[in-house]
Structure 1
Amino acid sequence: MSFGDPNNPYGSPQGGQQQPGYPQQGGQQPGYPQQGGQPGYGYPQQGVPQQQGYPGYPQGGQQPYDAYQQQQAAYGGGYGYGAAPELAHWGLRLGGTIIDGLIFAVPYIVIIVGQGKAVFAIIGFVALIALAIWQLIQEGRTGQTVGKKAVGIRLVRESDGQPVGVGMAFVRRIAHFLDSIACYLGWLWPLWDEKKQTFADKVCSTLVIRSQ
């Protein structure tokens, strides 16, 4: 028996073939990138730039409103679309406030009509509280009360154009006393303010924008 004998279990394979389980000479081991070729799975490509996002979308998060002051455009769901939202003018804000006021007048009417009757007073008071809470939740989560939705405006954070949240919506309601304390000047401030903000908006860093 010689080492060249094909029946010799210790001999080398005929024709210089590699034993199973070993890579071919001059080839590449599985899982490793080929020299001068494309890398295998699990290895980053060399010289190929990583995707940086779609054009028109700021990188690294949303940008504040100030970065877009010169680019007025319709609000499209956030400032990531490359253009500033269109601020709601004072007339729209007033219209939304009037509509909300008329809605809140209904429970008051129930209380007045049922004056002297406890059942009407209780119904009107409960309806008033429930309506106030519901309006606050809607404004915090969607940026719109019934009145704001009717006139097509929305309350958002100045930093990223997103809804302010129920907590901040409540704080903003309280901050409206600043608009009234100086002879109601704060309510008129959006008429000439660059960002059309009331004093409460400035304190809470909020904007009222058009949603259509």
Structure 2
Amino acid sequence: MSFGSPNNPYGQPQDPQQPPQQPGYGYPQQGGQQQPYGYPQQAPQGVPPQQGYGYPQAPQAPAGYGYPQQPGYGMPPSYANWGQRFLGTLVDGLIFMIPYILVIIDVSAQTGILSVVGALGVIGLAIWQLIKEGRTGQTVGKKALGIRLVRESDGQPLGVGMAFVRRLAHFLDSLACYLGWLWPAWDAKRQTFADKVCSSIVIRSN
């Protein structure tokens, strides 16, 4: 009596013309049913499905560019309007009036002491405001109005040096009957002539 091939432990005769079936190939068993090879197999109950071979990969969104998203990366910045820019400049001007008042009082008294204090106060305020604007994009007036000065290319503060250059470039805004100061009222990016030269914009910070 023949017990079949030693490679066939179940004792069933094997057709010599057919190649032996290799383990791991063919149709995987699931719940007693065979599924074609490569078909996405169902995960066991209670186990979340995992992405792998045979599963479509979820598309990934491209990285954002430039400005912090407000609300959302890659969205265009919200430009400050002319009224906000004007009021911010007005607040800064009122701050500078304090040392000037000291000078006026001193001239009336003709003592000379308050004139020196007032002059030093103007210089100190100008430097302090310039540093704040260059590093944070905000003077006291801009912060009060919720706006800030940034680079058009990446939305970062200009830096102290470039903020100083922008202030010098404001002479362009005073040419042609101060037209440059009014330009943000209708410009698409709300820029003055100095902003266009320095590639800067003023945006809403809140």
What range is the shorter-chain TM-score in?
0.5 to 0.7
Q: List, as ranges, runs of 4+ consecutive aligned residues in structure 1 with deviation greater than 2 Å.
A: 54-58, 73-76
> Does the 8 Å contact 1:74/1:210 carry over to 2?
no
Normalised to the residue count of structure 2, the TM-score between the two structures is 0.67
C-alpha distance after superposition, 1:100-158 (max 9, x if no partner): 00000100000001112211011101111000000000000000000000000000000
Residue 193 of structure 2 corresponds to which residue in structure 1? Answer: 199
Q: Is the 8 A contact 1:172 1:204 kept in 2?
A: yes
Q: Which amino acid aligns with 2:140?
A: V
* 1:186 counterpart = 2:202: no
Which of 84, 103, 110 in structure 2 is aligned with 1:111? 103
State the aligned residue count. 146
TM-score by length of 1: 0.65
1:56-90 residue CA offsets vs partner (Å, 9 max, x unmatched): 633xxx44x8xxxxxxx9746xxx81211100000
Gaps of 5+ in 1: 1-46, 48-53, 66-72
* Structure 1 vs Structure 2 CA RMSD: 2.1
- Radius of gyration: which is bigger? 2
Question: Is 1:143–1:163's contact at 8 Å kept on the other side of the alignment?
Answer: yes
Identity over the aligned pairs, expressed in percent? 64
Structure 2 vs 1, CA of residues 75 and 178 (structure 1 numbering), >3 Å: closer, same or farther? farther
Look up the match of 2:169. Answer: 175
Q: Establish whether residue 124 from structure 1 lines up as the match of residue 130 from structure 2.
A: no
> 1:75, 1:209 within 8 Å by CA — same for their partners in 2?
no
Matched residue, 2:94: 102
SS in 2 for 1:155: strand
- Structure 2: 5+ residue stretches without partners: 1-52, 54-59
- Residues 75/201 of structure 1: CA separation in 2 closer, same or farther (3 Å cut): farther
Q: Does 1:91 align with 2:96?
A: no
